[in-house]
Amino acid sequence: MNIGIIGLGLIGGSLGLDFRAQGYTVLGVSRQQSTCDIAVQKGVVDESSTSLKLLATADLIFICTPIHLIVPTLEKLTPYLKKQAIVTDVGSVKGAIVDNCSQLWPNFVGSHPMAGKTEQGINAAQLGLFVDAPYLITPLESTPKCAVKILTEIVEKLGCQIYYSSPEEHDRAVAWISHLPVMISTSLIQACAEEQDPNIRQLAENLASSGFRDTSRVGAGNPELGLMMAKYNRQALLISLTNYRQNLDQIIDHIAGEKWQELEEILVSSHQYRANFLKSK
Ligand code: NAP
């Protein structure tokens, strides 16, 4: 089987490394010739090109471009595709993508590998990035079952845990555990940067350790990706942000009013509930 990858960055490059390690032939297309050259040098792909024509022999294609380019990329790709080719994407939002792409190519299956890191681009690509990570597949009623089956069999080999949902359920769920944390973490960094006393700000920067590293990590990720999450999952993100603000206001009220019992109840409940999000990892 020939696997095609469009967008040889962190996710596309990491998929290429894994699929080549599995013995698949990987054909990669990216925007810049320099990225295509690095991809071949690093063993991410067997062949690379800036032209989508390279994918005329691909059986399964992963679109790994930034979110806003996924639908336009598929539009440009369809003239070159084999009749039976399966196309998927790895975008961090699904509602804005899956319907449109399925209309362009009936053998389209939306998906989202839930793994990443702060760095971006081809040089951040990493073998084994998806091991033990959730991989969500978001078929529609109209999506051919055999395309879902083939995609499942291939991505299972990455060592992922496979889940299925509708695109809308995906967007609501990731608003809570992925897009909301990016915005909270961003506002944490911004708030710390606004300390007016330069001596205190410098001392805080010197003292920041594992706690700050954990809570600020996702706020320091790819800015373009954060923007796309907000633009393309706006509705669900606003709901989760509003809910978060209410929780923060409640904590402020408890501290201002010295309601220590109430604050302790929240802290105890969070201490216990966090495990539900991390139990299988
Ligand atoms: P990235 O590292 O910036 O990679 C995106 C790559 O797309 C760039 O390296 C760029 O290649 C290429 N590209 C841009 N425009 C293109 C075009 N018109 N045609 C072909 N290639 C083009 O970003 P990423 O983090 O891998 O994210 C890619 C996708 O994965 C996004 O849809 C994102 O939502 C999804 N995703 C990201 C994460 C994460 O944590 N980062 C996790 C899961 C899913 P050049 O170097 O050639 O310009």
Secondary structure in 3-state letters for 179-237? HHHHHHHHHHHHHHHCCCCHHHHHHHHHHCCHHHHHHHHHHHCCHHHHHHHHHHCHHHH
Q: Is the CB of 226 under 6 A from ligand 1?
A: no
Q: Which of 6, 15, 29, 30 most suits a substitution to test ligand 1, by most atoms within 8 Å of the C-beta?
A: 30
Decide if pLDDT at 97 tops 80: yes
Decide if pLDDT at 165 tops 70: yes
Whole-number percent of the chain with pLDDT over 90 = 98
What's the confidence (pLDDT) of residue 256? 98
Decide if pLDDT at 280 tops 70: no
pLDDT band at 279 (very low <50, low <70, confident <90, very high): confident
Q: Which of 31, 76, 217 most suits a substitution to test ligand 1, by most atoms within 8 Å of the C-beta?
A: 31
Quick: pLDDT tens for 16-60.
999 999 999 999 999 999 999 999 999 999 999 999 999 999 999
What's the confidence (pLDDT) of residue 281? 60
CA of 154 to the centre of ligand 1 (A): 20
d(CA 147, CA 272): 40
- Which residue's CA is the closest to the ligand 1 atom numbered 39? 116
CA of 30 to the centre of ligand 1 (A): 9
What's the confidence (pLDDT) of residue 118? 86
CA of 144 to the centre of ligand 1 (A): 26
Quick: pLDDT tens for 117-134.
889 999 999 999 999 999
- Which residue's CA is the closest to the ligand 1 atom numbered 12? 7
d(CA 94, CA 111): 8
Residues 6+ apart with CB under 8 A from 131: 158, 159, 160
C-alpha atoms less than 13 angstroms from C-alpha of 177 in its C-beta half-sphere: 12
Overall residue count recorded for the chain in this entry = 281
d(CA 170, CA 175): 8
pLDDT band at 62 (very low <50, low <70, confident <90, very high): very high
pLDDT band at 156 (very low <50, low <70, confident <90, very high): very high
Q: How many helices (H) and strands (E) does the chain have?
A: 12, 8
- Which residue's CA is the closest to the ligand 1 atom numbered 19? 31
Q: Is the CB of 90 under 6 A from ligand 1?
A: yes
d(CA 180, CA 230): 9
Q: Which of 48, 50, 51, 90 most suits a substitution to test ligand 1, by most atoms within 8 Å of the C-beta?
A: 90
Q: Is the CB of 52 under 6 A from ligand 1?
A: no
Q: Is the CB of 233 under 6 A from ligand 1?
A: no
